[in-house]
Structure 1
Amino acid sequence: MVRRIKAKLVLRLRAEGLSSRQIAAQGMSRHSVAAVLDAADREGIGWDDVADLDEADVYWRLFPGRGEHESVHAQPDWDKVHRELARVGVTLKLLHGEYVDACRGKGETAMGYDRFCKTYQRHVLVIGAASRVGHKAGQTVEVDWSGKTMALTDPVAGQTTRVYLFVGTLPFSRYSFVEPTLDMRQDTWLRAHVSMFDWFGGSVPRVVPDNLKTGVIKHPAEGEVVLNDAYRELAAHYSAAVLPGRLAKPKDKASVEGTVGNVATSVIAALRDRRFATLPELRAAVYERVAAYNAEPFQKRAGSRLSVFEAEEKPILRPLPAVPFEISRWLYGRKVQR
């Protein structure tokens, strides 16, 4: 079917000198390629005419009105449906029920639940938005250490000091935070969390870390996860639950794993030719690069990590505690006076 073919790609390949047979070899049917080329010749449309248009606009210029039909069902505001699904506890079943009630009140014909779900999925594909399945706004942050490191350089002695990168990501918006540190000790781990929540301007109910010893004492396959006292205090201060990912299951925190890879390009590689003598100097540069990374437009949908965060996630983050978190040190086996 022509509707499924990438008409803009076909026109670009023809402009590059490929024949219809060679274009079809890119994974398209020869019938669909021929239909696109015939329509382009009939309308007098070439690659230069559509180079700045998106794929959907090119298709509708070649085949205006194709596939359109008047539905007997009332159409909900699909953009609103998409936004509502980001909220805690909201499902398509709930939204369909509310839609049916609204249609009854207006005397309109409502579509069934199955059609409602399929039409919503088509809407998501058309606008290029991410599915709401799996992540709700303002509910989870995933944290980890980057495998790649940076360095400080002493301008006098020329010696280098390794710098580690703490990474935190909100899975819903993919809005991220990166903190450079001189070590990966427990106090550093806790301070990085504090800086992360300050960067977000709020906290979330769930924190998903790895099973590192600075946070998790024991994570059995069956039974209760045991956190160390300091990390448990941090979680309690922000009214959050720590839910470590399962051992050898990176998909449990796939968002931050992906961000760690992007950090290597957007932060480490971007700053590779600069030399930093102090940690505050490096931190300022890292923050600047992370802000630029968050503001980069998505490749397959409208907006950016920053725009989605500010519009849909930041307003529902939990307020930060009025009193800043203070790191305590736990000592065991000490004798004290009565």
Structure 2
Amino acid sequence: MPYRELIMVDIKEMFRRRAAGQSARHVARATGFDRKTVGRYFEAATTLPLPCDREPTDEEIHAIAQRVQARPVPDTSEEWKENGTHRARIEAWLAQPRPLKLTKIHVLLKRDHGVSASYGTLRRFAMEELAWRKKTPTVRVADTESGGIAQVDFGLMGGLFDPATQRVRNLWVLVVTLAYSRYQFVWPSFEQTTTAVCAGLDTAWKFFGAMARVILPDNMKAIVLRADELAVVLVPAFLDYTQTRGLFVDAARVRSPKDKARVENHVAYGKPPTHPRTKRR
């Protein structure tokens, strides 16, 4: 199968993590790139040569990309194309309440549809194209070092009069909680934009007196362009912010509040107290 060609910002992020001491396996897991793809770029960097502890310049990134992406893309085999013509049929068999075994599907394709592809090719096709037997990603929750991770989330506080617009608007707070100490910072804002998030984070770093190494945010639109369990795509403006500040982002999974439980539990502390209703006699 053809490998994925990366754009300049992707390659820069890959080598930024390499300069921080992350292995190819770690970089692949954090960015969602295939580990073999990461290995090819790292191997190409050794031909410059590029030291492991230094981020490449734009000219060096361009040279590395040319070395990797100049490789000819192999043609798809005829057996793979055969399976591709029956993709919908294979997908339906695997999606049944009681899915057919892949060995049975191979027999049916060969007997009823004249497919000559081997079982090994069918198995690779099902795994790569249809995510067959794709393992559920494991989220490792481990104690971090002091200042290692900061969990980030937005919370709605309620309506508040805005003098600038002369109307009542929803007031949000950006909550930043250090995972190690549970030290908390709250930043009020009428907006949930990327600019507001960056301003809130910069103020949080001043408040804490240092920056965290990794931030673990919710999949808020100001940060995450496309949510994915393995290959999260960040908003370009926020990716530029993290690269400028030397931060790494490990976004939580969609609808998985336990991934950022320490900040999730702290959002309630930023809300104003509610008064119980007076009971009528």
Answer whether TM exceeds 0.5 for this pair.
no
TM-score category (smaller protein): 0.3 to 0.5
Decide which structure has the larger Cα Rg and report it.
1
TM-score w.r.t. structure 2 length? 0.44
TM-score (normalizing by structure 1):
0.37
More strand by share: 2
